[in-house]
């Protein structure tokens, strides 16, 4: 397996409006840098709109793009896993279908892989150097609270909810193989397992522009926080990892 071959996974659910512009931006990137990607996989997670048709139409002009249809909605985590297991690249990147992370961030991520050889590169919207638009006060407060809570599990420095992450093929398969959380918290599960198994992780400050029609409302973010501790306990029972800490350690 050539470690410099790159597969891009795009999980999509009811994204007929936002997916097209994002795929077109990828096509523009490929026109400028023809060898930047070798494969694009759009995983349609049981959409009820024309998401798959949009992807297929653009795929007719972009030979490296293919569509996998989940048939029914199984969750974002399940869609990413499907793409990971189907990917052929030595590096596997996944990006949200809304284009909140611009296609121009892909070369920056790959440069980190090629120069520093990590197992995982995670886009980060909160580190110095990141550029993001401003959410509502409630969303910013809930996001800050969520990140603070993540410190309990050794994940305080990782932007677990950022929809732009890259893995070596080996790391991706090892981490996604026994995925338990098939919906929003899959990012937290993967990050926790990666940290506890001492994978080499690099955080990459990125430019991020929130798009209308977000699938993760603030209420879901708050509810997710209460599901994390049970998830971590399930992971530890399955893998025999260290117990969940009961106090924040700086």
pLDDT of residue 232: 86
Asked if residue 84 lies in contact with residue 41, where contact means CB atoms within 8 angstroms, the answer is: no
pLDDT of residue 124: 93
Burial of 32 (0-12, 13-18, 19+ CB in 10 A): exposed
HEC assignment per residue over 58-73: HHCCCCCEEEEECCCC
**Per-residue pLDDT tens digits of the chain, which is 250 residues long:** 567 899 999 999 999 999 999 999 999 999 999 999 999 999 999 999 999 999 999 999 999 999 999 999 999 999 999 999 999 999 999 999 999 999 999 999 999 999 999 999 999 998 889 988 755 454 555 556 666 666 666 676 888 889 999 999 999 999 999 999 999 899 999 999 999 899 999 999 999 998 776 655 556 666 666 778 888 888 888 766 544 444 333 3
| CATH number at 6-239 | 3.90.550.10
Enter the pTM of the model. 0.87
- Hey, where are the domains in the chain? 6-239
pLDDT of residue 247: 37
Pull the structure tokens for residue 68.
Answer: 């996998």
Asked if residue 79 lies in contact with residue 13, where contact means CB atoms within 8 angstroms, the answer is: yes
pLDDT of residue 155: 75
Neighbours of 219 (CB within 10 A): 10
Give 151's strand partners.
none
pLDDT of residue 138: 46
pLDDT of residue 174: 96
pLDDT of residue 91: 98
């Amino acid at each position: 397996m050539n470690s410099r071959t790159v597969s891009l996974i795009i999980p999509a659910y009811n994204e007929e409006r936002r997916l097209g512009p994002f795929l077109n931006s990828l096509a523009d990137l490929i026109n400028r840098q023809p060898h930047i990607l070798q494969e694009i996989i759009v995983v349609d997670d049981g959409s009820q709109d024309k998401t798959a048709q949009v992807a297929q139409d653009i795929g007719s002009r972009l030979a490296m793009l293919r569509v996998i249809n989940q048939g029914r909605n199984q969750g974002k985590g399940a869609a990413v896993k499907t793409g990971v297991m189907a990917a052929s690249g030595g590096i596997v990147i996944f990006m949200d279908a809304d284009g909140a992370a611009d296609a121009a961030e892909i070369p920056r991520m790959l440069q980190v892989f090629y120069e520093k050889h990590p197992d995982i590169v995670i886009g980060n919207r909160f580190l110095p150097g990141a550029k993001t638009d401003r959410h509502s006060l409630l969303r910013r407060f809930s996001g800050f609270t969520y990140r603070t809570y993540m410190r309990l599990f050794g994940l305080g420095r990782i932007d677990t909810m950022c929809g732009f992450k890259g893995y070596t093929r080996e790391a991706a398969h090892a981490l996604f193989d026994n995925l338990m959380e098939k919906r929003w918290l899959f990012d937290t599960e993967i990050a926790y397992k990666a940290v506890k198994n001492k994978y080499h992780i690099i955080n990459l400050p990125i430019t991020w522009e929130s798009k209308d029609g977000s699938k993760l409302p603030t209420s879901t973010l708050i509810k997710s926080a209460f599901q994390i501790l049970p998830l971590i306990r399930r992971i530890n029972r399955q893998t025999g990892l260290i117990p969940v800490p009961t106090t924040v350690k700086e």
